[in-house]
Structures are given as structure tokens and as C-alpha cells.
Structure 1
Amino acid sequence: MLPASLTVNYEPHPINVDSPIPKLSWKLESGESAQYQTAYRIQAATEPSLLSLEQPDLWDSGRIDSSESIHVPYGGSKLISGQRCFWRVRVWDKLDRPSAWSDVGYWAMGLLERSAWGGEWIGRVISPEEAYPSVTYLRKSFATDRPIRQATVYASALGLYRLRLNGEPVGGDRFAPGWTDYHTRTQYQAYDITSMLAEGDNTIGVLLGTGWYAGTVGMMGRRVYGTSPQLLVQLNVEYTDGSRHSIVTDGSWRLNTGAIVYSDIIKGEKQDTRLEPQGWDRPGFHEEGWAEAHTFEFYDGLLVAQQEPPIQVVEALSPVSVHAAGANRWVYDLGQNIAGWTRLRVAGAEGQVVTVRHAEMLNADGTLYTANLRKAIQDDIFILRGEEVEWLEPEFTYHGFRYVEVEGLPDALPADHLLGQAAYSANRKAGDFETSNPEINRLYANIVWGQKGNFFSVPTDCPQRDERLGWTGDAQVFVRTATYNQNVAAFFHKYMQDVIDAQREDGAFPDTAPDANWSEFKKVSSANWHAPDNAGWGDAGIIIPWTIYMMYGDKEILTKHYDAMKRWIDYCKGTSDGLIRPDYANHADWLSIRADTPKEVLATQYFAYSTRLFAEIAKVVGREEDAEAYGELFRQITQAFLNRFMNPEGIIHGDTQTVYAMALYFEMLPTEWRGKVINRLKELIRANDNHLSTGFLGVGCLLPALTEYGESELAYTLLHQETFPSWLYSVRHGATTIWERWDGWTEEGGFQSPSMNSFNHYSLGSVGEWMFRYAAGIEADPASPGFKHIKLRPCPGGKLSYVKASYESLYGRIESHWRVGPEGFALEVLIPPNTTAMVVLPAPANRTDGDGLEPGETTYRVGSGRYAFEC
């Protein structure tokens, strides 16, 4: 058995760790079955050579008798800003045999104290009259005169920045430093640029845009946080002779404007490439006409290392077709709805204007459907320099689109001259899901693409219209699905900090995070569905941390936010009437179809659910008194709910699919009531011609509730449904992402109201959770979270002849592959080393992998390895 795949705080080689005690993890590789770790030993040093010499100068844990291989806390010498740490691990297996040492991993600390920053915040003072200001170009030349051992650049901005060194981009990150509540904190990034520095003259160049800080944010308009973007850069150089030198932002930097006439996340971008100062980011450039950078007061918020993966261009798509849309206008179909932008390779005359427009759908006449953008403008305008072939793409804007219209060129571009740049937070892929039904496979692909397009520093609701906000309700209903598709642990650690930053003093959690002044905006809005503490939205503050703990076994997110979660429960209790949450004008079961769930019913159900989860959280973190008190509060809430809303026949007030699915899924019902409730839920579905009627909140509970209570065939019936409203209705009409509304487009009515009609909105894709947890049967165990112990209970059914799923847990790959044929049911599973699993079969089964266990069982407890069953 060999340890491999070393990570620190979820990342393989992070170089801006600012937690004082990093969390170390590794996976185990072994060809033997039922293998597990009985002990480990970690060594850490300031140089890899010291590890080879068995002289670790930072930490030698010695042998630790433990099976833990994830989130092991660093226990060595105190770490300082910028310090590099090299580490390795060895383990002992089930027979107490030691492994070889792992390959050496490393991490580097970020700048841990404010005093470690030596620069000033610089930029250009933007006049209030500049509605959409030009992007600022900043540069600084410097020289190095000795061989360099190590060079790291740290950068942050209030706004967005793009860093360049000697004419080349630094890293592939876009939209840095990411979106936070800038009133409270902003993030910084770190890049190893050792190989990019030349001995002699060097130049740093930076593009600085308004971004979320001073540009347009959703419906709240411009300058939510500030007016003038600001930049902070510090380049630390360590020479081979041991000397050090820093280049920092200050008044000696020079700035100007250039080709990017304006750039706004919501309003698009305009470039006049004739205005580009050639060579501005290289040594030897003449700075005549460039002004001194303005120095601002030092930012008084928190300056923290970026926690979530960076936004990057992860995929590039070529068009699958093109058609003419008028004189010098061509419409390209990428075949996939994405978030990002278009990159063009064009040639033309000086001053020629090329306009690139983006849309998710087409009108009947083949033109772009843009009515649903509201005040957003998905246009990028380029004025050509005319000297040569140019690659054109925007810098600080992005769009939601499948279709691209290019106006201003006489001929259509070749397929390889137009690329859709799919950009999103680069969370590593975790899951795969495949069935015998191509339409369900397309549905799963749509779920994944919806997640990718909307996980953009925060989990946004949509990437196209003037919104793109981090709605908490959308995030919590989808978070479990998200964890199966990608490793989103770090992503949601960061987002939960956004949620906490937006929590009110009285304990109410927000609708959106970062709040972006949404709480102020909705006070003056004419809409009647704005409340300070929306049920299902505010509850994200409980549900997301619990889900991350369940899927990754990381207790830190619970301990860090424990008090904030407790304040939310206490707030809900304090604003309830006899433990019934009031009928606030909240979002309810958003966009349900012909079924209005009473708001006080839904709000009380979520109050109960969050309280039950919080009682479990209290138990996990060792707060036994709270665990008992809030467990009792949950029981009281459920009794108040039954007394107020349920009649003796088992009818819940409102009588919608959602109220029954939630009551079951949230475990609010005594045993004697469950049969009546599941029967009523079945009646409502049958009466609706085997169609669902649930909205954003109810949809995630519906299929799990049916399956948990023995109605898996009805769950499959809903999954297979192809007519409106259903998941496959949109698939059959060409959807490549999840739609915001079941009726976003229908054969009878065409497009829904353009005031709210996104075609890339992941919430209704929460059925992905059911696909993994129930159809494939890959489930975490709350008693041993993070898949240390795996529950594998596949649920065959419907019209499917097979389901094949995999999930890359922190311990390794889990697989579940079942098939049904004339011979019966067969299942193959893969369990990673250092874990155990309980495999539950749908009928008495025989092991067919030659292990020799007693045949005819429905439940098998197994260790790591590959197993096969038939029944």
C-alpha cells in the first residue's frame, strides 16, 4: 500500500495558504482487497533534500496509530509568511507493514500578517461622470542582477486585475481576485514566477477593471462598493546568495488607458485595438504621456488568501453550424449553452468595427433571442487595428450563451477562427453518471453544464441577464448535487464565508451572498416577495455546512460557523408564533407549476429541518447540551406543525406535492402518519397525470422522499416523463443546460415572460443528487462522513437496463455499476483503500468475484476492492 495524491487544504500544491494549521490529506493505492491504514508518519522540511537525508527540520510526527488520511492537521514548527514546506508521508497497512515514502509534496504560506505587505493601493481616480470607465493599464520596470532562487508575486484588487510579466500573462486565472463583500474582505492570489524573470531588466504590467467592485452588480446598478478600482502587488524575489528584494505597488508605477475603452461584467466590453500601446508590458517601453499612479488609503478590510479555485477558461468550443442573419451578419451555434465569452481570429481594415453578440436561444426567424437579458448587454465591440490578423476577446466581461452573432465581416469565419471560451471556477471533476437512456444522460450533462456555467467565484443563479447573484436558496438545494459532480469543498468554504459576512446582527441569513446591497435594494423594490429571512434561502446557512461535512468529512466548516448557525435557529424561534414561522412575503416554493404551497407551512418545515440538522451539528462538535436542547426544539416544532397544519386524514394544509415531500424528507412525521402522507403524495402525482408540480425547493425532496418510502417506480416514472412539465421536456426540445422555469419555452406558448426566463439556472437540476444517491446508490454515512464508510444501495427501476456511476471521494474512486437483464440483476462496485462499505442488494444475492462468502445475502459488509454480485 502506497500513499499518493497528496493535498493541502484540498489543493495539490497551494502557494498561498493562510490558515496557521494546514490540513494534510492523501489517498492510498493498493492491489490488495480490504486494505486500510493503521498508522502514519509525516515529515515536513524547508528543503526536499532534508527529507531525503531523514532530517526534517519542520516536523516529524513519528508513528501515529490512526486510520485518518484526510484533514490531518499540521503539527510542526510555527510557519511564517511566504515559507515553503515540503512534506511526505508513509503509512502502515492492515498487517502493520510499512509503506515506502510517498512522493514529496509542497505548499507555501501566504502573507499572514498585514505587516507582511509592503506596497500601497494604487490606481486611477475615476470621475463620477465616467459612466463606464476605461480599463487602466499599469506598469513597473525593475532589474535583477543575481541568479534567482525563488520569486513569488502576490496580487489583489478592489475590482478585477490581470497580471503580466515581460509581455506574457501570469497564470491562467481570470476575474481575479474573485467576488467577496469588499466592505468586509477581499482576496489575494499568489503566483510562482521564478521561470518568468530574466536576469536584468523586467517589467510588470497590470490591467485593472471595475469588476464587481465598481462596475455593474446584478440589478443593483454600478458602484455598489466603490468608484475607483485599486491594485495591490508585491513581488518577493529571493536570490541564490540568500538576499531578498521586493517590488511593490507605490506612486512610482505609471498608468494610462489603452485599447479597452470600457469593460463591465453586465454591460459588455468595447476595444479599440488601434489604441493599444505596443510593448507596454515589456522592458524598454517609453512611458511618455503615462501618469504617476494615484495612491489610495490602505484598504481597511480583511486581506485573505483566495480560498476557492480560480476562474479559468477550462474548455474551448468550436461552432457546429453557421447561418447568415443579414448583410455582414453571421450566427454561429456552439451546440452547448455556456458561460464565458467568444474569441475571434479576424483580419480587416483599420477602423473596421466587428460586433459580437451572444444569446442562449434563437427566435423563430433564426435571430438571437435577447429579450430575457433585461438590462444586461451581451455585446463585445472591437475596432480593428488593420495591420495584421488579430485574435480578439474581451478581458473583464462574460456572457451566458450558445449562439454568437458576428456583425461586420463579409464572410463567415472558419470554425477554428471562432471559439466559445467556457470559463468557470476550476473545481476538479468528481463524478460520472451514465444510463441506458440517452435522454437521461443528456439531462445529467445539462446539470453539469449548469453547474459549471454558474459556479463563477460564487454559485450564481444565471450567467446571462442583469442578475448573476449568489442566491442562497438556489445554492442550498443544489449543493449535494454539486458535490457529486465536482470537488466543491474549497468553493463552498469560501461561499459560506460570504454568507456569514452578510448575516444580520439579529441572526437572519441573507437572500444573496455576497449581499451586494441586495438587502437595501429590495426595501425600495415594488416586488412583494422580498422578506428579510426567506425560508429555504436563509436555511442555506445550516444546510450547506452540514452537506460539506457529510461529503468531505471536514469538521472545520461546522466549528468555524457554529455560533452563526446557532444565531439563525434562535432568530427563527424568536420570530415564530408558537413555533410556527409566520406568513412572510417570501419566495415560497419558487416557480412551482400550478401548485401554491402556503408560505407558513414551507417556512415551518424548513425551520424544523434546520433545527434537526443543527442538533446533529452540535453533537459532531461536542456541544452536548445544545444537541439535546435543539433536538428537543425540533420535536416541539414538528408537534406544532402537526397540530396546526395536518388533519386526521393526513392532509397537510396546502395539499401540494411539496408539503408532503418535505414532511417526509425532513423526517417530520411520526411513524403512524407516514403511510397516509406517502399515499396522498402518490394521489397528487397520479392526479397530475404522473407529472410533478414542485418548484425550486420541493423538487429536490420529491424523488428522494418517494424512494425512501418504497415508491421508487413512481420516482422513475417522474424521471422518465417527457411531456410538460418534466426534466426531459426541455431535453427533448434541445436544452443543453437546466432551465430556470419548467415553462421557459413550451410548444403552446413559446417563450415565457422575458422578465425572468433564464435557460441556464441549475436549481431544478437538484435531481442529480437522487441520481447518485438512489439510482446509483452511492451514499455517505453521517456516522462516518466523507465516505470513510460508504453506503452502497443501488435502486434499479424504470426503463433503465443499466446505471454506471463513479465518484472520486477524498479517499479515492467509488464505482457502482448495475445492470438488469433476462438473467436478473448484477452489480459491480469499487471501494477505495482505507474505507469500508455496506452493500445492500434489492434481493438476496450471490457474490461472483470468488471471495467465497455465504451466498444469498441482501447485505454485505466489505472493505476496499472490486466486488460483483448477482441476484
Structure 2
Amino acid sequence: MVQVTDLRCEYRRNPLGIGETHPRISWKLESDERAVRQTAYEIELAADESLGQAVWQSGRVASEQSVLVELAGFEAESRRRYYYRVRVWNQNGEASAWSEIAFFETGMLKGENWEAEWISAPLELLPEESERLPLLRKGFSLKAPVAKARLYATAHGLYELELNGKRVGNDYFAPGWTSYRHTLQTQTYDVSELLQAGDNAIGAWLGNGWYKGYLAWGNKKAHYGDRLGLLLQLRVAYADGSEETIVSDGSWQCAAGPILMSEIYHGETYDAREELSGFSTAGFDAAGWTAAQVAQHDNGRLTPQINEPVRKIETVRPVELITTPAEETVIDFGQNLVGWVRFRVSADAGAEVVIHHAEVLDQEGNFYTDNLRAAKQEIRYTCKGSVGGETFEPRFSFQGFRFIRLTGFPEPIDLSAFEAVVLHSDMEETGRFRCSDPLINQLQSNIRWGLKGNFLDVPTDCPQRDERLGWTGDAQMFIQTAAYLSNVAPFFAKWLGDLASDQREDGGVPFVVPHILDDGSFSSAAWGDAAVICPWTLYVSYGDTRILERQYESMKHWVAYIRAQGEQEYLWNTGFHFGDWLGLDAKSGDYVGATERDLIASAFYAYSTMLLRKTADVLGLEEDAAVYEELGRNVVAAFQEEFVTPAGRLSASTQTAHVLALMFGLLDETAEKRAAAKLKELLEASKHHLTTGFVGTPYISHVLSRYGMQEDAYTLLMQKDYPSWLYPVTKGATTIWEHWDGIKEDGSFWSRDMNSFNHYAYGAVGDWLYKSVAGIQPDEEAPGYKRMLIAPQPGGGLTWAEGVLETPYGTVRSAWKLKEDGSIEVEVTIPPNTSAEIRLPGASDATAVKESGEPLRAGGGLLSVAGDGLGIKIEAGSGTYTFVYPIHAASTDLVAAP
């Protein structure tokens, strides 16, 4: 029998404060049977948890769809909770029981009128140039016990709220970083349990954050504004049905708080002697506080939060206390991470303790901060002298670090008084990969920690130096790997909205999103192509058509921009490009690899046009699809004429040029064969080491697998000397480095200026680990893993590997292991309401294959079994299958399904 589980609205379980007026519902199916399909569903929606007040009903709908189901004809109202349940019918016409009841609740929808006013601390209290941060408060009285209360808020800058002395919610760095001139997110909090009949009080902390603080280079700050502000609306419902609203307005009071300085790059300075304890409680004496100043701002850009908020995810304990050769006291947490340090200290009032943060130690073992550039990453805390000690952690700054240097802390140092708090966007982890090689497992861990450290509200390029910006190129290179590791759909939906907002009228896309660089920082090939690549990747990974609908104009404008740039219509041979950034075949002293920039630009021109044509097809835009089909053919023809000789040789003899031409399908059959052979030749010439940079590296392993060079791909992966993915692992890396040789063999550093040790771009190889080694691949024709390809490719000396992915439909698992008797065991799990094509590696004779101990044949969930030149091909419905058979071909002969 089938059971309906894991109900979600807009990817989330029981979300509070969504902004969709046409929300979508998803669910998963569970069953012990094989080949389970949904043939129909029914959804009931009501205003009460008992489902007695029906709001909308679907009736029985004949459909297999169970992911992102739109509620036809339903439109959600602002600030309202809806309850819903689902039941389904299986392939035999049998109905499931109703699911458990779930809910979603809307926030203050875009365009709704706010009763609240924007308030700020007056300039006479804190001048614009002051680094000290304000506190705000208001006391109020409620006439009766509270039945329900919602708090809606946002800020210019960052904010944290307290009600009656308790923190509101568990979000950090709210309201998040968006293109503030176009979009400012609002948050919704359920504060019903924090209020009481009678006297209450609310308090707020404000921080500079991305709004007013320092961003990028040149000591620039206040990119969006020079005044912090708060907008807040508290709606209280009583048991008798009456309501009351408390808002931010001129009746609020302000004071200078204990945070003397807080900057994302520089850290935080806090004087505990200046604390105003209890300021958010009703009994607090606010005599001497200053009246808040009311300001006028555009509320038309306010919208409920789209992505998951930043939260505290985990803590990491110290592993070692070090006295360096320079006689400094350093703590090693054993993991390069992003967040902050929570510590306890016992000292006299007025004593100052200081913490500095670093990613690495230098070759002598000393604390190293040169790669931070202007970022101070410094926490200064002045003690208040509490009996028994005091505990502190920052509020509005985050650091990238593995090591901390202590100054002023009383001896002896107690390691148990320190812990690192890991913060990042609270994305659900969805993928797991592991294998028989511990170095590859550490590489996978490094890739995951790269995501954790750089997915803090925006996809940053690095989390430690004076940068931490949403570089478009890095994001498009890594998004497919990210989609294996975590549910990144809401995260990127929010970011892509900002990309579209910051896109110029001519279609140009900024280097970083949100855009805060100068006006010339736009439209490099492979960077701007994030406008097309990222939405398409989300669609394939999650089956989300709406992301294509909402980004389609942005995608079109980007391709139109490219088309208008070239000296020839079908080539892109003008403008600035980063090229194959950090390519190892670059001239000495240059950051840009040897592959011609116009070749790279024209290749991405073709690729984005192809993806745009596919997008038009998905959206049913036949005329557009025909236009982009023709444009794509013309761009490919122009590419071949410009960059391929009549004999079929690519004009650029670099790894990256051959990888892009093959990956994007830019060559005819003759040139394709020659390019594949030439790529193998180039690899052999480099002794199977990479010479690619940011552009070529994400694709090279895929190309090798696609063209029958799987063992070459494994050889690349397994290299341990520079340059390789495992070289940093052998040097103790716990995250992905910006440079292959960030730390050289002798312990010296690549450079001081650009040497991040937490830079996720090269972690894009994680995509290949899931797709080729474990063999889990989505199907573009049935996206979101409604249908998938399971085609593991053993090799590289690995004896086993496993990939697990929590898809929108449920858990997919692909695992293989080589057995001592010369056979291989392949285990596959396919979730209900999906199907898969399974390719058994190294199998040639179906009669030699056993499935769950029985001879392999169609039936019992296996829809068909056939052999072809690539081995055994199986069509399977849902279920768990175990295949055992003797390996026919060596792993070097195994190739991926086309």
C-alpha cells in the first residue's frame, strides 16, 4: 500500500511567512512494493486545523505529478495560515489514507500597506560616521491573554529582536542581502508564546551589515545608505477575535548600545560595561533614552523572504592549543569554517580580550593573516567583571577561519571555554558520497564545507578576506554540485531574482550579485552566463518550471546582449572577459589562462543560446524556440569557421578549449573525434595533470567520461601532486582552495593578494563524483528526478562507492562494490512515482546477472531488460534492487551512456 509523507509548500515543511500568492504543494510516497506510481491525487485546503472550514479542494485529479503542484484557481491572502492534506491513488487504482495535516502561512505580501513607520536613531545620538550601534525599544500593554501573535519586520542594515527579554526567532543576518534598491526582504515570526497579558516590551539591535558597512575594496562603505533603520509590525489576536497592532513609530526610544563597532569584514568590538541589561523587558527604566526618528522610505520593494535564513547549524570544538614560534597563543579548531567563536572569560571589569581569525599557519607555524588583505577579522571584548565569568559571541559579523589567536585572555587557557559556531543558510542536506579511498572522502568533505562556508545568504566567492561577494561565474560553475549536496532551490531563486534586478537595460549581467562594484563590472563570458545556466540547472534538478518562467526575460536579455556585442553577429569577440581564470597555462604573472578569450566567449554564447532554446520549449514558446534554434545553429557554424581548421583541428591547443568544444557540442563528427584524441594527447603531455582554470575545470572530467576516457578522468582525480584536487588534501586542506598551490610544497604561499583557502569553484568536481562514480544523473526530459539515469562507472582503483540523494520524490541510492571473486554488486534504490534507466557497468550477458538472488528478467519492478554496445540496460520502476554479476570489461573500457 502507498502512504503520503513529507508534505511541503514551496520546498519547505510548514513554512511561516511565504510570499507566494499561488503556492505549490509537494509530497512524497512511501511503499514496500516495487514499481509504485501515482495515477491521481486529491488536495484539501482549509482555514482551520480540523479542515472544517474548506477554502479550496482539488477533487480527484488524474495526474502523476506530486512535486510543485499548483493549486488551480486558488489565491492566498496576506497574513493567513492555511491547512492542507493530500491523498493519492496508485497504479492499481487503490487510494491511500489521507496524509497528516500540514500548513503554510503567508507573510505581509508584496504591495500590502504597512501601518508601521521606518525609525532610526537620531543623528544627535549617533552621527552618520559613528561606528557605535543603536538599541531601540518600546513598552506596551496587552488587555488579555494572547491567542496568536505575528511579528513582521525588516531593516536597513541587520537586525535582531527581543520580546520580554527573549530573542525572537533563530534567524541571523536578517533581513539578508538582496539588491536593496529593488528588493528588501521581510521576515515573519510567531511570537505567541513570548507575549503576556499586561505589560510587555520589545527591543531591537541594529547592525551595519551589507547595507551600511564596508563592502569590496577601496575602503568603501554605505553602498545603499548611511542610516540604519527598522520597520516592525506586531499583530496580536485575542481569544475573543479582536486584534491589536503595535508598530514602529515615533513613540519608540533609542540608546547607544554596547556594540562599539561591527563590520562584516572587520569583526566586532563590544564593551560589556555598556550593556543595558533588560532593555527589552517591561520593567526596564528607559529614562535618558532618546526618541526615535521617523523616516520615509519606499515600501514597494518589500517582499517576504524567499530563501532559507542563515542559522546556527552546528558547533566545532577546539582540537589543539598551540604556542607558535612567535610565542603567540593559538587555538586550532581542525576545520576551516565560517561563523564565529563563542567564548567564556573571567576577568576584572575593564579588561580587554582580543581574538583574531585565520585560515592557516605559515611555513614556520605562525599565525598567518596576509591573505585577508584589509579584513581585520577581529573580535574585541571588554569585560564587565561578572562573578563566575561571562560569555560572548558576535551578532552582526562572521569570520572565515580554522585558527584563532588569543590576546589578553587569562592564563592558563581552558579549551573548553571556546567553541566555533558554524553559520550558513539553513539548506537541507540532500546528498552524500563516499568511497573506498579516504583521500577522495576528504575531498568530498572539503567540497561540502566549501558550500557551508560560502552559502551565507548569497553564494560568496570567499568568506574571509575583504570580498565575500556573489561572483556570478563561481556560482554557475558550482550550482550543479551544490544541487547534489543541498536543496539550493530557494537559495538560488532569491539570488537569481537579484541578478535580474541588477541586470542592465541592455541585458548585461554584473560580475557580482548583488551588484556593488563600479559600473564597468559587467558582462564577462562564463560569468554573465549564470543568468541562463543557473535557472536551467535548477529546473533539471528540481523540476521547477516557475524558476524558468520568472527568469526567462533575464535569460533572453543576456543572450540578446551577447548577440549585440560581437564584430560578427554569431561570435563574441569584443569586451572584457576573465577568460579561463587562474588557468595554469597562463603566462607568468598573469591570472588568465592561455585559451583565447573570444573562443571561450563564443563557446558560452552557443551554450547559453542552446539552453535558452530548451527553456522556450519547456515553456511552450514555440516561436521563441525556433528563433533560438536557428541562432544556436548559426553560432555553432560561426564557431567552427573561426576556431576549427578545415581538417578538423581546434585552433587553440589547450585543455580548456577542447573541453568546452566537446562539452557544449560545438564540433562536427570529424572534429569531435579529433578533439577527443587531442585532449587525451594534451593530458598525456601534462602527465595527467590539469592546466585548466575556472572555466575548464568544472567540465573536464565529464568530457573524459563522455568520450570513453573514464580511466583518464580517474587518473586526474587520483593525482596527489600539484596541480590536482588531492594535492591540497595532502597538505591538510579541509576546504577547497582558490589556487591549486595555495600552499606550496615548501610551505610557502602562492600569493598574499588572492589566496583564499575556502573558495568552492574547483569543488565542481563533486558533480562528476555523483554523476559518474556513483552514477546518479537527472533526466532533462523528466526533470527533478521524475526519471533518472543510474550508470555508475567503476575505476581508479576504487573498490566501492556510494551516492545517496534525497530528491523531490524521495531517496535515490546507487552503490557498487568489487567482490573478491571477480564479480561486482550494484545496489540501486528508486523512490516511488519515479523510474530509472539502469546501466550495469561491465555487464555483457544478462543471463549471468542475478537480481536479489534471482535470474535477471523483466518483472517485479523491472520493466525491461536489454543489452546493447554499452552493456546491460534496464528500465526500472521504484524499489530497491541488488544486481550481482561477473565483470566482463575492464573499467578502462567502460563508458557512460550518451
Shared fold (TM-score, shorter chain, > 0.5): yes
Question: How do 1:560-599 and structure 2 match up within 5 A?
Answer: 560-578=550-568, 579-595=570-586, 596-599=594-597
Root-mean-square deviation over aligned CA pairs: 1.6
Q: What are structure 2's unaligned runs of at least 5 residues? A: 587-593, 858-864, 886-898
Contact 1:584/1:600, CA 8 A, preserved across alignment: no
1:287 has 2:290 as partner? no
- Mean CA deviation greater in 20-29 or 404-413: 404-413
* 1:80 matched residue in structure 2: 77
Task: Supply the distance in 2 between the matched residues of 1:698 and 1:115 (Cα, whole angstroms).
Answer: 47
* 2:18 matched residue in structure 1: 17
Change (3 A) 1:492 1:126: farther
1:202 has 2:192 as partner? no
Change (3 A) 1:132 1:216: farther
For residue 124 of structure 1, the aligned residue among 97, 101, 121 is 121
* 2:894 matched residue in structure 1: none
- Mean CA deviation greater in 354-363 or 572-581: 572-581
Q: What are structure 1's unaligned runs of at least 5 residues? A: 524-529
Task: Supply the distance in 1 between the matched residues of 2:830 and 2:468 (Cα, whole angstroms).
Answer: 39
* 1:27 matched residue in structure 2: 28
* 2:243 matched residue in structure 1: 244
For residue 112 of structure 1, the aligned residue among 109, 115, 129 is 109
Contact 2:565/2:572, CA 8 A, preserved across alignment: yes
Task: Supply the distance in 1 between the matched residues of 2:311 and 2:482 (Cα, whole angstroms).
Answer: 18
Letter in 2 for 1:463: P
1:568 positional shift: 1.0
Letter in 2 for 1:213: Y
Question: How do 1:319-330 and structure 2 match up within 5 A?
Answer: 319-325=318-324, 329-330=328-329
* 1:304 matched residue in structure 2: 303
What TM-score does the superposition give when structure 1 sets the normalisation length?
A: 0.96
Tell me, what secondary structure is at the counterpart of 1:298?
coil
Task: Supply the distance in 2 between the matched residues of 1:360 and 1:853 (Cα, whole angstroms).
Answer: 53
1:864 has 2:878 as partner? yes
* 1:486 matched residue in structure 2: 486
* 1:410 matched residue in structure 2: 410
Task: Supply the distance in 2 between the matched residues of 1:112 and 1:856 (Cα, whole angstroms).
Answer: 54
Contact 2:837/2:874, CA 8 A, preserved across alignment: yes
1:116 positional shift: 3.7
Change (3 A) 1:618 1:542: same
* 1:188 matched residue in structure 2: 186
Question: How do 1:22-171 and structure 2 match up within 5 A?
Answer: 22-49=23-50, 51=51, 55-75=52-72, 77-125=74-122, 130-131=128-129, 133-171=131-169
Change (3 A) 1:323 1:126: farther
1:849 has 2:852 as partner? yes
1:170 positional shift: 1.0
Change (3 A) 1:130 1:377: farther
Contact 2:566/2:572, CA 8 A, preserved across alignment: yes
**Superposed CA offset, 1:415-462 (max 9, x none):** 321011111001000000001000000000000000110001110000
1:650 positional shift: 3.6
Tell me, what secondary structure is at the counterpart of 1:391?
strand
Contact 1:67/1:834, CA 8 A, preserved across alignment: yes
* 2:836 matched residue in structure 1: 837
Letter in 1 for 2:137: R
Contact 1:584/1:599, CA 8 A, preserved across alignment: no
1:460 has 2:460 as partner? yes
**Superposed CA offset, 1:362-402 (max 9, x none):** 12333321001111111010000012311111111111100
Contact 1:598/1:653, CA 8 A, preserved across alignment: no
1:65 positional shift: 0.7
Tell me, what secondary structure is at the counterpart of 1:380?
strand
1:337 positional shift: 0.3
**Superposed CA offset, 1:663-722 (max 9, x none):** 111111122221100110011111011101111111011000000111000000000000
Change (3 A) 1:572 1:76: closer
Task: Supply the distance in 1 between the matched residues of 2:264 and 2:65 (Cα, whole angstroms).
Answer: 44
Tell me, what secondary structure is at the counterpart of 2:115?
coil
Task: Supply the distance in 2 between the matched residues of 1:75 and 1:56 (Cα, whole angstroms).
Answer: 19
Contact 1:218/1:266, CA 8 A, preserved across alignment: no
Task: Supply the distance in 2 between the matched residues of 1:486 and 1:604 (Cα, whole angstroms).
Answer: 32
Question: How do 1:618-697 and structure 2 match up within 5 A?
Answer: 618-697=616-695
* 1:799 matched residue in structure 2: 797
Task: Supply the distance in 2 between the matched residues of 1:790 and 1:336 (Cα, whole angstroms).
Answer: 35
Identity of aligned residues (%): 42
**Superposed CA offset, 1:295-354 (max 9, x none):** 111335510111111011101101000112489952100000001111101111111110
Task: Supply the distance in 1 between the matched residues of 2:866 and 2:850 (Cα, whole angstroms).
Answer: 8
Contact 1:712/1:797, CA 8 A, preserved across alignment: yes
**Superposed CA offset, 1:220-272 (max 9, x none):** 62100100111111111111110011111001011101211110111211000
**Superposed CA offset, 1:184-217 (max 9, x none):** 1110111111111122221111101111111111
**Superposed CA offset, 1:640-682 (max 9, x none):** 1111111245432221100101111111112222110011001
What TM-score does the superposition give when structure 2 sets the normalisation length?
A: 0.94
Change (3 A) 1:412 1:602: farther
Tell me, what secondary structure is at the counterpart of 2:61?
coil
1:570 positional shift: 1.2
- Mean CA deviation greater in 265-274 or 847-856: 847-856
For residue 545 of structure 2, the aligned residue among 541, 552, 555 is 555
1:314 has 2:313 as partner? yes
Task: Supply the distance in 2 between the matched residues of 1:480 and 1:659 (Cα, whole angstroms).
Answer: 21
Contact 2:110/2:300, CA 8 A, preserved across alignment: no
1:550 positional shift: 0.2
**Superposed CA offset, 1:513-536 (max 9, x none):** 0002x133xx4xxxxxx6x31000
Change (3 A) 1:470 1:113: closer
* 2:394 matched residue in structure 1: 394
Letter in 2 for 1:602: I
1:868 positional shift: 1.1
Tell me, what secondary structure is at the counterpart of 1:364?
coil
Task: Supply the distance in 2 between the matched residues of 1:248 and 1:577 (Cα, whole angstroms).
Answer: 57
Letter in 2 for 1:751: F
* 1:527 matched residue in structure 2: none
1:563 positional shift: 1.5
Task: Supply the distance in 2 between the matched residues of 1:416 and 1:103 (Cα, whole angstroms).
Answer: 43
1:750 positional shift: 1.3
Letter in 2 for 1:282: T
**Superposed CA offset, 1:732-777 (max 9, x none):** 0000000001121111471011111100000011000000111111
* 1:421 matched residue in structure 2: 421
Task: Supply the distance in 1 between the matched residues of 2:413 and 2:53 (Cα, whole angstroms).
Answer: 59
1:133 positional shift: 1.8
Task: Supply the distance in 2 between the matched residues of 1:321 and 1:637 (Cα, whole angstroms).
Answer: 57
Question: How do 1:311-350 and structure 2 match up within 5 A?
Answer: 311-325=310-324, 329-350=328-349
1:414 positional shift: 2.6
Task: Supply the distance in 1 between the matched residues of 2:809 and 2:740 (Cα, whole angstroms).
Answer: 38
Tell me, what secondary structure is at the counterpart of 2:628?
helix
Task: Supply the distance in 2 between the matched residues of 1:325 and 1:146 (Cα, whole angstroms).
Answer: 61
Letter in 1 for 2:505: E
Contact 2:461/2:474, CA 8 A, preserved across alignment: yes
Contact 1:254/1:293, CA 8 A, preserved across alignment: yes
* 1:725 matched residue in structure 2: 723
* 2:736 matched residue in structure 1: 738
Contact 1:165/1:281, CA 8 A, preserved across alignment: yes
Question: How do 1:501-512 and structure 2 match up within 5 A?
Answer: 501-512=501-512
Letter in 2 for 1:829: V
Contact 1:593/1:695, CA 8 A, preserved across alignment: yes
Task: Supply the distance in 1 between the matched residues of 2:566 and 2:100 (Cα, whole angstroms).
Answer: 56
Task: Supply the distance in 2 between the matched residues of 1:868 and 1:132 (Cα, whole angstroms).
Answer: 66
Task: Supply the distance in 2 between the matched residues of 1:420 and 1:251 (Cα, whole angstroms).
Answer: 39
Task: Supply the distance in 2 between the matched residues of 1:833 and 1:80 (Cα, whole angstroms).
Answer: 33
Task: Supply the distance in 1 between the matched residues of 2:688 and 2:274 (Cα, whole angstroms).
Answer: 61
Task: Supply the distance in 2 between the matched residues of 1:755 and 1:260 (Cα, whole angstroms).
Answer: 30
1:56 positional shift: 4.6
